[in-house]
């Protein structure tokens, strides 16, 4: 998503105070330039939270306000400060910013495939592959956060949708937590995986980036060119649109549902070209 900081630029159409609410279902007409608001429309108020590596005292609070001022939050009000262990303090600061947002510069990445029901996905897989589609999933590295990948794979699913295990035309192999990359590659080969689904939730020191690039490189090394299974990675903090950099086919983020993943799998195998995709 790209936005332009228009600094002191005057808002082309300043948000006006709310009048009568728009009729139900009437398309909402938005101005091009907007600013955040807290108490009164257009007041520029934002709330930010952060932690500083200092014990909680008056100097720490002054440091928080100094940071807020340098971030352009002025005037800033310290609304919350709490010691986090002995040497750290967590802050919430509320204040006004002068920055404007130009909605015309916002780039939205649209989903590139249609959402299918489980029935439609199964039928499409059957038609395309004439066999079950095999997915191998895991949390790699030292990541033990399995709830996300289980939400996608386990039959019980997520957000009211059944997981991929529910799909009659998908074979799911869930390898669980803290799987080493060589083990994952070996399992994918043994299962003749069409797709490998990897979860990365821990992002400390960019672990998710390092683990994912290491994983995708290992698959490219282990498979002949053009035979690498679909590499799909998911987790709450991946940057949208960074597939190429990470060497994967698709990234899924926060709130992903199993149906979206199944629909993507169908889309990807349909894009693959031949009528009967060769089993890798
Ligand atoms: C539950 C939890 C745990 C549980 C995990 C249990 C388990 N079996 O999973 C336990 C208690 C073990 C745990 C441990 C730790 N945790 Co923890 N944990 C959480 C917590 C509270 C919830 C995570 C979760 O389950 N979310 C719900 C699922 C459904 O959401 P999700 O993972 O985002 O998955 C969705 C999408 O991202 C996507 N998705 C995810 N993966 C994939 C994969 C594919 C292929 C696809 C398509 C989609 C997809 O689809 C899912 C459904 O929509 C978060 C905080 C939070 N509120 O998020 C911290 C959090 C993730 N944990 C954290 C930390 C630091 C740890 C520990 C290091 C703590 C410690 N010092 O010991 C350890 C690390 C253990 C390890 N080796 O990994 C931090 C990570 C910080 C960071 N920046 O990396 C968090 C953010 C808490 C925090 N604010 O500090 N944790």
The predicted-structure confidence for 16-68, as pLDDT tens digits, reads as follows: 445 556 667 777 888 999 999 999 999 999 999 999 999 999 999 999 999 99
Ligand 1: residue of 50, 135, 148 to mutate (most ligand atoms within 8 A of CB) is: 148
Q: Which atom of ligand 1 is nearest to the CA of 255?
A: 53
Mean pLDDT to the nearest integer, 120-133? 97
d(CA 164, CA 259): 8
DSSP 239: P
Tell me the percentage of the chain whose pLDDT exceeds 90. Answer: 82
Query: Model pTM?
Result: 0.85
Q: Measuring CA to CA, which residue among 39, 13, 202, 209 is closest to residue 104?
A: 13
Task: State the CATH architecture for 1-108.
Answer: 2-Layer Sandwich (3.30)
Mean pLDDT to the nearest integer, 71-89? 96
Query: Active site residue: 82, 156, 227, 254, which one?
Result: 156
Ligand 1: residue of 173, 196, 201, 257 to mutate (most ligand atoms within 8 A of CB) is: 201
- d(CA 10, ligand 1 centre) in Å: 42
Provide the 10 A C-beta neighbour count for residue 234: 23
Q: Which atom of ligand 1 is nearest to the CA of 236?
A: 37
156 is catalytic: yes
Domain boundaries, the chain: 1-108, 118-271
Which pLDDT does position 63 carry in this prediction? 98
What are the start-end ranges of the E strands in the chain? 33-34, 45-52, 76-83, 89-96, 101-102, 133-139, 170-174, 195-199, 230-234, 250-252
Which one has a higher pLDDT value, 280 or 153?
A: 153
Which one has a higher pLDDT value, 229 or 240?
A: 229
- d(CA 201, ligand 1 centre) in Å: 5
For tokens 């960074």, what's the residue?
242
Which pLDDT does position 1 carry in this prediction? 39
- Mean pLDDT for the chain? 90
Which pLDDT does position 187 carry in this prediction? 98
User: How many Cα atoms within 13 Å fall on the side-chain side of residue 117?
Assistant: 2
d(CA 195, CA 16): 51
CATH of 118-271, one of 3.40.50.620, 3.40.50.280, 1.10.357.10, 1.10.1060.10: 3.40.50.280
Q: How confident is the model at residue 237 (pLDDT cuts 50, 70, 90)?
A: very high
């Amino acid at each position: 998503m790209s936005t332009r900081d228009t600094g002191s630029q005057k808002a082309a159409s300043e948000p006006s105070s709310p009048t009568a609410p728009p009729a139900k279902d009437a398309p909402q007409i938005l101005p091009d330039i907007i600013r955040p608001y807290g108490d009164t429309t257009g007041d520029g108020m934002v709330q930010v939270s952060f932690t500083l590596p200092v014990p909680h005292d008056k100097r720490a609070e002054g440091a928080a306000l100094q940071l807020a001022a340098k971030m352009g939050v002025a005037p800033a009000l310290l609304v919350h400060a709490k010691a986090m262990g002995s040497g750290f303090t967590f802050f919430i600061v509320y204040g006004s910013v002068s920055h404007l947002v130009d909605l015309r510069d916002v780039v939205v990445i649209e989903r590139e495939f249609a959402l299918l029901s489980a029935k439609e996905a199964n039928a499409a897989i059957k038609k395309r592959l004439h066999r079950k589609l095999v997915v191998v999933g895991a949390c790699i590295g030292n990541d033990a956060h399995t709830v996300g990948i289980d939400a996608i794979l386990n039959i019980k699913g997520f957000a009211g949708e059944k997981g991929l295990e529910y799909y009659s035309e998908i074979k799911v192999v869930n390898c669980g937590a803290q799987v080493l990359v060589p083990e994952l590659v070996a399992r994918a080969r043994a299962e003749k995986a069409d797709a490998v689904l990897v979860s990365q939730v821990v992002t400390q020191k960019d672990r998710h980036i390092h683990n994912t690039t290491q994983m995708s490189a290992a698959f490219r090394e282990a498979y002949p060119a053009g035979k690498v299974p679909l590499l799909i990675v998911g987790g709450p903090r991946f940057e949208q649109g960074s597939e190429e950099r990470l060497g994967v086919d698709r990234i899924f983020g926060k709130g992903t549902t199993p149906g979206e993943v199944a629909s993507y799998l169908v889309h990807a195998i349909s894009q693959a070209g031949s009528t009967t995709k060769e089993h890798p």
